[in-house]
Amino acid sequence: MIVIRSRLVPALLLAASVLAACGFPGRTGTGVEGSGEATSAATTGTATTGTTPGTATKLVVSVTDGTGGPPRTWTLTCDPPAGDHPDPEAACRALDAARAPFAPVPAGMACTQVYGGPETATIEGVWRGEPVRSSYARNDGCEIARWKAVAAVLGSGGST
């Protein structure tokens, strides 16, 4: 048996479990802080997959292409999928599949410094009965990963 007497090891284990709970498995270190924002218990990664009776989802999705034009805005409801979103079924499936779709990039997360494009987006409303408000961008690797996780919700523009 190996015994390690260090404060660093428990701290690293705690950090790794927090990152995994936020949907960022395998990433460690420090770096650029993410720009996403979110509120609600749904952002903690503890929500169960799927909806239960009485837990409504009604979201407003707004996406800008970064050229200064007006945003594209849709409404989305799930269970059953509906709204004026171009593909509500795929959008609801993407939200159910994402580990923590509204969680921001954890503070201090090391993110690759790649630029994915000028697009930005917001999703706000109620998801599984909890209020949410989250912002998305494509300004580094972590934000691009967040965007890709909910690309079906954000529509086809900039989903690569």
Q: What is the pLDDT of residues 2-34, one digit of tens each?
A: 434 444 334 333 344 434 434 444 333 322 333
Whole-structure pTM value: 0.65
Model pLDDT for residues 111-150, shown as the tens digit of each residue = 999 999 999 999 999 999 999 999 999 999 999 999 999 9
CATH 1.20.272 fits 30-154, yes or no: no
- How do the domains of the chain map onto residue ranges? 30-154
Output the DSSP codes for the chain. Answer: ------SHHHHHHHHHHHHHHTT-TT--S--PPP-----SGGGGT-PPSS--TT--EEEEEEEE-SSSPPPEEEEEEETTTBSSSS-HHHHHHHHHHSSSTTPPPPTT---------S-EEEEEEEETTEEEEEEEE-SSHHHHHHHHHTHHHH-STT--
